[in-house]
Structure 1
Amino acid sequence: MMPLGFALIGIAPVLGVLLILLGLTGTCIGIYDLNQTSHALMRNYPLASRMRYLLEHFRPEIRQYFVENDHDETPFSREQRAVVYRRAKGIEGVRPFGTLCDVYGDGYEWLNHSVATTHLGSQDFRIRIGGPDCKQPYDSSVVNISGMSYGALSPNAIEALNRAAKAGGFAHTTGEGSISRFHRMGGDLVWQIGSGYFGCRHPDGSFNPERFAEIAADHAVKMIEIKLSQGAKPGHGGILPGPKVTEPIAEARGIPVGEDCISPSSHSVFSTPRGLCGFIRQLRDLSGGKPVGIKLCVGHPWEWFAMAKAFRETGITPDFITVDGGEGGTGAAPVEFADHKGAPLREGLMLVHNTLVGLDIRDRIKLIASAKIITAFDICRISALGADGVNMARGFMFAIGCIQAQACHTGKCPTGITTQDSDRYRALVVPDKAARAARFHAGTMHALKEACESSGLRHPDEFTPHHLMIRTSPREVRSAASLYDWLKPGELLSGEVRHPAFAKYWDRAQIDSFAMVPKENG
């Protein structure tokens, strides 16, 4: 390039000088590569190897925009993201020329419609959360914002989501990072309590009942959620890309500025299913009778069975259970956890639903599903499998501008959503993003209303396994009612259970320990 640049100086001076500078820069880089000892590839192929690293750096973007098709869910498909973007912007979301799905492929799903359609006057579907021991039940929207902590999300992102919740009349779950100043924009809150007891802890990290009662008395706090586990991080929640916290985060979480922010792998208040029931009752009493629930990603079935047995035997039940799926996760996790830890949402939800039905306590507890739910069809499908409502995380992040850059763990989110870098999150304009999130919720609720009407129903909770059809082969279709095993009300109380999971583990669960009871024959 340098000889060519010198040759062109007399004819095209600007181009010639540019080529000389580029050639000189490349030569210096090549000499450096030849002498460095950290990268063998760069030493053997100086300069040229840097093109490989450059392409590797932009590989996710190249794949997302130029390679994958509209239905490749990695982790969310282009079609899913486009639905959110259109609804958030108030753009018409119809499609010409029919479906792009292979309706004869294995696993294709659809909802049966009715010739006796309904005509609903409102799309504001509500569910009342609060069992017999709850003094302040909450009429919740069936679609709410899932837990995302301030610290994992930027202050502007949290503020935009809470303002959207206020405008749209739905709830905003705080995440285990507690209630920050940016959550206090008028939206209803579900205060999530994790194993770190952020916002209600003593200096040693133990639970502080007095501090909890003080914050729970806030009118904005509508429900309390005890976090046991979540999607891709079943054991604990590492909240921040870096553990050292700044002043606003420390203020919300009740820890000194600059100290490590760590969620222990388990709760210190309880260590048994019976103890969990006691903690539920304690929080309900301290909050003045507000709904208290638990959030979990189903792991060992005998541990969930032990909790369910404790609910039945003590008479202390959560007002709601949020079931997260192993496919979920809004931030980042080790690849082994993200890919292979925790039960997927469908299996986890059906196990929880079947257990509560089998114990004849399903009517006391609302089930909230949370994991990769985007469209009204997702809501209808999961409602047919047992859910009463859903929480969305990534859907609302898309609504406020997430482009799935998958840089959540780096602190360098290009849209200013998952970062504490003020130069980045200042670009996220709160009023505009709040309006988009509210429009996305409204658009989803409208689509949900139309889905209910076309199936002849009046509320999403009327969807049953008989409405959901699943293709199992090119020549066979089955409803979810016949494809999966479903328990009858009170079946677990009779002692005669044929469902394979219950037949194997139900009798090996105990309410005074999460451990599995050994078999009598050893």
Structure 2
Amino acid sequence: MCLHEPVWLWGVAVFGALSVLGTWDLLQTRSTLRRNYPVLAHFRYGLESIGPEMRQYFIEADTAEVPFSRQQRALVYQRAKSVNDVRPFGTQQDVYGVDYEWINHSMLPAPHGSHDFRIIIGAQTAQPYSASVFNISAMSFGSLSANAIRALNHGARLGGFYHDTGEGSISAYHREHGGDLVWEIGSGYFGCRNDDGSFNAERFAANARDPQVKMIEIKLSQGAKPGHGGVLPAAKVSAEIAATRGVPMGVDCVSPARHGAFDTPRGLLEFVAQLRELSGGKPVGFKLAIGHPWEWFGIAKAMQESGLLPDFIVVDGAEGGTGASPAEFIDHVGVPMHEALMLVHNTLVGLELRERIRIGAAGRITSAFDIARTLAMGADWCNAARGYMFALGCIQAQSCHTDRCPTGIATQDPRRWQHLDVPDKATRVFKFHENTLKALRDLLCAAGLEHPQQLGPEHILRRVSPTEVRSLAALYNFLAPGDLLGKIPGHAVFQAFWANARSDSFAAPAMVQSIRGSKAF
């Protein structure tokens, strides 16, 4: 075709080329966005492929007004796709900026060994579980699509790590690929409820004794919206979601803000013991976002007085959460993960219970350094939600609650989620986990360590001003074993709240009077 041909022939040529491109987009499986938005998606991906500058531009554009580091998101994509994450020209961080953190290296680095770091949870139960130190945090079927659940669980099976079901119960999609499950029991008791929403022991036992279920997690609160409860909009409550959760179809599915099976700290621990027995001796624990310190202290005192212990506690930070939440809750409710983790860890150490209870932590953890820092502060393992969503292809369109997720991850619209290719995304989930743990191994070896359990707060350094550097060991107050068994330690929070915390009630009016004017947080 030459320049003298009629203009309409050029239009035909362009239309034909776009048709071929659109057909290819629909047939390929690696990009859900291109399958859902053929041709149009290339305005994003085409420019992104030009080079590092454009990739950085689109990562920044995608995360505009989203409080998440573009460098971290880029790192997830690289590791999920097994793209080389080595970069030239030094750090992108301001090493003299306040809050810059690093891990010190050793003059005698440790030899490289396996990156499959594991811990035993519930060592004294009938069915202890060997868990990876990095797992998929709670995201329910209903909030996520069928193919997203399939891909996450398949990736977990490939990598030998666990997949937390979220409080939406165990769906057929969780079971399809046989990956390890942690069944989260929320206040709605989905999958183990009576018609009136109360707990049903028989239905619980039937699900909990499934060999694929490795642990049971009672959700007291979550970092994104602690004390709020949750709602799955009626538009998302399909027939299969209704059957999975045991709720009516086409009606808002409500998770109450509080549990009905217990209302005291002692009652919580009795519920833990009941679920452990009903499950056949599997590890049982609870997840919470720390709020009023005296409520957590009440649970700790109930452990001390009754001898009833959870096998694990998962600390969820206020900065975490992949679900839609009210803006004020996201920004201003709950304790951030580092402070919450330190409070739980210190309390258990002070009661000489730390060796008997494992601690998991979640709250915007995506990189190997995030894991190392969190374990150094007292956790035994880490969970992540957002990072694994990025591995599935999430672009943070922030339309999770609208049922119009463009990548088919957070939607129940089959026209969208059916385009998410399960084998491809499962491989990315697996690779993200594997490459992150390889990076963790490399960090540990550089520090002269062989296992994450050797990490301590002395290994992580933080710049607190342009001229001052402190280790986490110096920045945080750590209790010694048994400190809470005698005189109350000088830590302000324990001084203010420990003495008046009650094992028989979460509410303590006398304590509220005693803390007025206190300098504790």
**TM bucket normalised to smaller:** 0.7 to 0.9
Pair 1:234-2:223 in alignment: no
Give how far 1:68 is off: 4.6
Partner amino acid, structure 1, of 2:191: G
Alignment of 1:55-74 (within 5 A): 65=57, 68=60, 74=66
Q: Whole-Å Cα distance in 2 between the matches of residues 85 and 501 of structure 1?
A: 40
**Residue 272 of structure 2 aligns with which residue?**
280
Pair 1:121-2:135 in alignment: no
Contact map agreement 1:152 1:241 (CA 8 A) in 2: no
Report the number of matched residues: 465
Partner amino acid, structure 2, of 1:402: C
**Residue 102 of structure 2 aligns with which residue?**
110
Contact map agreement 1:244 1:261 (CA 8 A) in 2: no
Q: Whole-Å Cα distance in 2 between the matches of residues 475 and 328 of structure 1?
A: 31
Pair 1:350-2:342 in alignment: yes
| Residues 72/406 of structure 1: CA separation in 2 closer, same or farther (3 Å cut) | closer
Q: Whole-Å Cα distance in 1 between the matches of residues 123 and 491 of structure 2?
A: 28
CA deviations over 1:23-60 (Å, ceiling 9, x no partner):
xxxxxxxxxxxxxxxxxxxxxxxxxxxxxxxxxxx9xx
User: Of the candidates 478, 484, 497, which is equivalent to residue 505 of structure 1?
Assistant: 497
Contact map agreement 2:134 2:382 (CA 8 A) in 1: yes
| Residues 63/445 of structure 1: CA separation in 2 closer, same or farther (3 Å cut) | closer
| Residues 231/63 of structure 1: CA separation in 2 closer, same or farther (3 Å cut) | farther
User: Of the candidates 159, 183, 193, which is equivalent to residue 150 of structure 2?
Assistant: 159
Give how far 1:324 is off: 0.5
Sequence identity percentage: 60
Give how far 1:67 is off: 9.6
Contact map agreement 2:501 2:508 (CA 8 A) in 1: yes
Unaligned runs of 5+ in 2: 1-5, 9-43, 49-53, 517-521
**Residue 479 of structure 1 aligns with which residue?**
471
**Residue 19 of structure 2 aligns with which residue?**
none
Contact map agreement 1:151 1:239 (CA 8 A) in 2: no
User: Of the candidates 141, 165, 168, which is equivalent to residue 132 of structure 2?
Assistant: 141
Give how far 1:480 is off: 0.7
Contact map agreement 1:70 1:79 (CA 8 A) in 2: no
Contact map agreement 1:269 1:279 (CA 8 A) in 2: yes
Give how far 1:124 is off: 0.5
Q: Whole-Å Cα distance in 2 between the matches of residues 171 and 426 of structure 1?
A: 24
Q: Whole-Å Cα distance in 2 between the matches of residues 374 and 504 of structure 1?
A: 35
User: Of the candidates 391, 397, 412, which is equivalent to residue 399 of structure 1?
Assistant: 391
Give how far 1:116 is off: 1.7
Partner amino acid, structure 2, of 1:262: V
Unaligned runs of 5+ in 1: 1-11, 15-57
Pair 1:168-2:156 in alignment: no
Q: Whole-Å Cα distance in 2 between the matches of residues 237 and 160 of structure 1?
A: 27
**Residue 249 of structure 2 aligns with which residue?**
257
CA deviations over 1:79-112 (Å, ceiling 9, x no partner):
1111111111111110101101110011111111
Q: Whole-Å Cα distance in 2 between the matches of residues 345 and 96 of structure 1?
A: 32
**Residue 508 of structure 2 aligns with which residue?**
516
Q: Whole-Å Cα distance in 2 between the matches of residues 322 and 383 of structure 1?
A: 13
SS at match of 1:417: coil
Give how far 1:72 is off: 8.4
Q: Whole-Å Cα distance in 2 between the matches of residues 286 and 243 of structure 1?
A: 34
CA deviations over 1:203-247 (Å, ceiling 9, x no partner):
111000011011111000000000000012102442424466211
Q: Whole-Å Cα distance in 2 between the matches of residues 390 and 143 of structure 1?
A: 5
Contact map agreement 2:220 2:288 (CA 8 A) in 1: yes
Alignment of 1:368-447 (within 5 A): 368-447=360-439
Q: Whole-Å Cα distance in 2 between the matches of residues 221 and 413 of structure 1?
A: 29
SS at match of 2:184: strand
Q: Whole-Å Cα distance in 2 between the matches of residues 316 and 437 of structure 1?
A: 37
Pair 1:306-2:298 in alignment: yes
Give how far 1:503 is off: 0.4
Give how far 1:250 is off: 1.1
How high is the TM-score relative to the length of structure 2? 0.86
| Residues 78/278 of structure 1: CA separation in 2 closer, same or farther (3 Å cut) | same
Q: Whole-Å Cα distance in 2 between the matches of residues 431 and 202 of structure 1?
A: 36
CA deviations over 1:492-514 (Å, ceiling 9, x no partner):
00123101100000012000000
Contact map agreement 2:284 2:310 (CA 8 A) in 1: yes
Q: Whole-Å Cα distance in 2 between the matches of residues 192 and 323 of structure 1?
A: 14
Give how far 1:75 is off: 2.2
Q: Whole-Å Cα distance in 2 between the matches of residues 316 and 73 of structure 1?
A: 45
Contact map agreement 2:233 2:252 (CA 8 A) in 1: no
SS at match of 2:490: coil
SS at match of 1:230: coil
Q: Whole-Å Cα distance in 2 between the matches of residues 429 and 127 of structure 1?
A: 32
Q: Whole-Å Cα distance in 2 between the matches of residues 189 and 454 of structure 1?
A: 33
- Larger CA deviation: 109-118 vs 369-378: 109-118
SS at match of 1:293: strand
SS at match of 1:81: helix
Aligned-residue CA RMSD in angstroms? 2.2
Contact map agreement 1:70 1:77 (CA 8 A) in 2: no
